[in-house]
């Protein structure tokens, strides 16, 4: 198993739960080499784009590629085109502006104290956090790992 972080550049290679290689890398291509018995293995990571992917990892044994995995991240736009993405963005913008205006009217109507601004801001942050958690979970479920056998 290979583990890598696009934020810190740390790469770790594990075989049967044992760490066999570890290093930091800040480029979009890297390789790790390690030995198991008489055999020399290497993993090669290739990243086309840190934000869009795909992330490609190739395992080689004694200089010959034997297996490849690709991590494919779905695009933000729907299959139907860019229009639905922009409508979704417009909906969220209108939602938060409406929420803000409703609070401003309620503050004037009920003569709410200045401290209520902090509670409203906290409420907006919580709503945004819940929404973003939902979207990340939903979009994250679409990530696809493609295995390729090379022989």
pTM score: 0.56
**∠ Cα 10 132 57 (to 5°):** 30
d(CA 11, CA 30): 9
Residue 83 pLDDT:
52
What is the residue-averaged pLDDT of the chain?
81
Residue 80 pLDDT:
54
Low-confidence residues in the chain, pLDDT < 50: none
């Amino acid at each position: 198993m290979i583990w890598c972080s696009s934020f810190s550049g740390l790469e770790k290679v594990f075989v049967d739960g044992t760490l066999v290689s570890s290093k930091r890398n800040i480029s979009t291509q890297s390789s790790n080499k390690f030995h198991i018995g008489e055999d020399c293995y290497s993993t090669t990571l290739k990243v086309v784009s840190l934000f869009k992917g795909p992330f490609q990892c190739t395992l080689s044994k004694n200089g010959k590629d034997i297996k490849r995995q690709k991590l494919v991240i779905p695009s933000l736009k729907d299959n139907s085109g860019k229009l639905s993405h922009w409508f979704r963005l417009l909906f969220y913008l209108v939602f938060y502006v409406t929420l803000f205006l409703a609070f401003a009217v309620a503050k004037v109507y009920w003569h709410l104290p200045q401290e209520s601004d902090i509670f409203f801001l906290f409420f907006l942050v919580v709503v945004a956090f819940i929404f973003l958690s939902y979207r990340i979970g939903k979009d994250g479920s679409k990530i696809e790992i493609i295995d390729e056998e090379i022989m």
